[in-house]
Amino acid sequence: MDLNLPYFVYCEGASWFLLEQPLNVLSHVAFFICAVMIWLDDQGRGSSLSLLAALLAICGLTGMAWHASEVQIALALDLAAQITLVGVLTMVLANQILGCTPLNSVMASIIMVLLTLLGRNLGLPFLLQNGGAFLPIMILLVLLGFNRIQNGHPRPAKYLIASAYTLFIAMIFHSLDWVVCTEFPLGTHWVWQVGIAITAYLAIEAVHKNREELEGAQA
């Protein structure tokens, strides 16, 4: 993966206070908030949802480190954390929503990671800064939402569709960062960070609601 410019430069680079990119750094607090909320929902049972909560917290930490330092190794760790989150989230969704076997869930995760890496350079004018990398997971969330609707599970469907919409909006702000830079020097990349955290939270909450509906049907 190309870690060089211009893909990883941000409007907020020329900023204020002691931090190089204060809003981009502080926006990662959203990851920690969402991680705590997911862990509380899982009641500390140590299930796959707790694992995803831990991954969200790691993404928040690595993202802060990258935007605060702009050191290439921090960027590599941030990208690795994001890709791992996408892979594990896909695996959990495949297993918990679609009922795939562990092996098939792992295969779905690998395919999603490959699509993420391939999709980053789609060259679409409205998906700047490698925004195309998140199109595959957005499409998956929509398809899973429709799957839940067809199977009579409206609550998880609402969370899955909301997650996809949130990701779509986040991708818009991701691409707008440099477009609005001359008029809004703080940029919009920080909105993207918050959007990603909320997207992950909603998708994970969909798994939680799906479990509740299945348990209720069995009771």
Please enumerate in sequence order all residues whose Cβ is within 8 A of that of 160, keeping only pairs 6 or more positions apart, or say none. 97, 141, 142, 144, 145, 148, 202, 203, 206
In this structure, the dihedral spanned by the alpha carbons of residues 128, 132, 137 and 140, taken in order and rounded to 10 degrees, is 120
* Residue with token string 């799906």: 210
| CA 71 to the chain's CA centroid | 22
Judge residue 163's burial from the number of C-beta atoms within 10 Å of its C-beta, 0-12 exposed, 13-18 middle, 19 or more buried. Answer: buried
Domain ranges of the chain: 19-218
Residue 22, pLDDT score: 80
| CA 210 to the chain's CA centroid | 20
- CA 88-163-60 angle, 5° bins: 55
CATH level 2 (architecture), domain 19-218: Up-down Bundle (1.20)
Q: How is residue 123 written in tokens?
A: 């060259």
pTM for the whole thing? 0.87
Show the 3-state SS of the chain.
CCCCCCCCCCHHHCCCCCCCCHHHHHCCHHHHHHHHHHHHHHCCCCCHHHHHHHHHHHHHHHHHHHHHHCCHHHHHHHHHHHHHHHHHHHHHHHHHCCCCCHHHHHHHHHHHHHHHHHHCCCCCCCCCCCHHHHHHHHHHHHHHHHHHHHCCCHHHHHHHHHHHHHHHHHHHHHHHHHHCCCCCCCCCHHHHHHHHHHHHHHHHHHHHHHHHHHHHHHC
pLDDT mean for each 10 residues of the chain (219 residues): 49 60 89 93 73 94 88 88 94 94 96 85 56 86 95 94 95 83 81 94 93 72
Q: How many Å apart are CA 126 and CA 83, to the nearest integer?
A: 22
Residue 126, pLDDT score: 52
Q: How many Å apart are CA 198 and CA 167, to the nearest integer?
A: 8
